[in-house]
Amino acid sequence: MAECASEISDTARPVEAKVEVLDECESIWKQIEECQSKLMLLGRETLLPSDAKLSLLMLQWKALKVDVHQWQARSPEVISTNPDVLLELGKEELQKVKNDLEMVLSTIQSKNKRLEEDLKSLKTRELNELKNKLLKLETYKKELLSALGEFLDEHFPPPEEGENIKKKNSSAETAVELIALQEILEVLINTIMTTPHEPYITINQSFWPPYVELLLRYGVALRHPEDPNRIRLQAYHN
C-alpha cells in the first residue's frame, strides 16, 4: 500500500507543478492588465490646460523614470521555487535543446552526404576525362608514328642487302642485318618515354652509321657526354 501511495504521489507531482505554474502565469497576466489600464487612463488626459498638462507629463515622466530604475535594480525572479516545477521546466528546456541539436546534426549529416556524393561524382568525372585524354594521346601517337613511318619509308628506305656489314668470327663470317631509320627512332622514343631518367641506348652493329650520323648532325639525337657509343633522343619537351 505504501508503494502504491508513493507511485500516486509521484504521478500527481507534475500535475500539481503545472497547475502552480498556470496560477503564477495568471497572476502575472493580471498585473500586466492593470499596468495597461493605468497607461490607458494616462493617455486620456488630453483636455487639460497647456501648463497643467506639461506639469502632469513631467510628473508622469519622473514616475516612469523611477520605475525604470527600480526594474533595472531588481534581480531576476525565479518563476517558482517548487522543485517539481523547476524539474519540469528543466526537462522542457533540455528537450528543446535536444531537438535543436538533432536538427543541426541532421543538417550536417545531409550536407556531408551531399559533399561525399559530389566528391565521388567529381572523381569519377575526372577519371573519365583522364582516360579519354590518354586514349586520345595514344591515338595521336599512333597517327604520328604511322605518318613518320610513311615519310621515312619514302625518303629514308632501309639499307640494301649489299650494304649489310659482315662480322668476322673466329669460325666464319656472318652478315649483320641493318635496321631501318624508323626502327632506330622508335627505340629512341620508347626509351625516353619508359625510362626518362636513363634515356640513352647503345649503338650496336645493326645501326647503319650514315643514319646515326644523320640523327646527330640535325640534332635529333645526342651523344652521351662520356660514352660516344651511346645516344639519346633530343628532349624537345624540355
pLDDT of residue 169: 45
pLDDT of residue 227: 94
**Rounded CA Rg of the chain:** 50
Task: For the chain, list residues with pLDDT below 70.
Answer: 1-19, 21, 25, 29, 32-33, 35-57, 68, 71-81, 160-175, 236-238
> Hunting for cell 551531399 — which residue is that?
114
Q: List the domain boundaries for the chain.
A: 1-19+79-131, 156-233
pLDDT of residue 184: 92
The span from the CA of 157 to the CA of 160, in Å, is: 8
pLDDT of residue 2: 44
pLDDT of residue 48: 47
- Tens digits of residue pLDDT in 58-88: 777 777 777 767 766 666 555 566 777 778 8
The span from the CA of 102 to the CA of 96, in Å, is: 10
Burial group, residue 112, by CB count within 10 angstroms (0-12, 13-18, 19+): exposed
Coil/strand/helix, residue 204? coil
Which residues face 202 on adjacent strands?
230
The span from the CA of 100 to the CA of 93, in Å, is: 11
pLDDT of residue 96: 87
Number of CB atoms found within 10 A of residue 12's CB: 11
**DSSP H or E segment with residue 230:** strand 230-233
- Tens digits of residue pLDDT in 6-34: 444 555 556 666 667 677 767 776 776 67
The span from the CA of 186 to the CA of 182, in Å, is: 6
Query: What's the full length of the chain, in residues?
Result: 238
Specify the pTM: 0.43
pLDDT of residue 74: 62
pLDDT of residue 75: 60
pLDDT of residue 213: 93
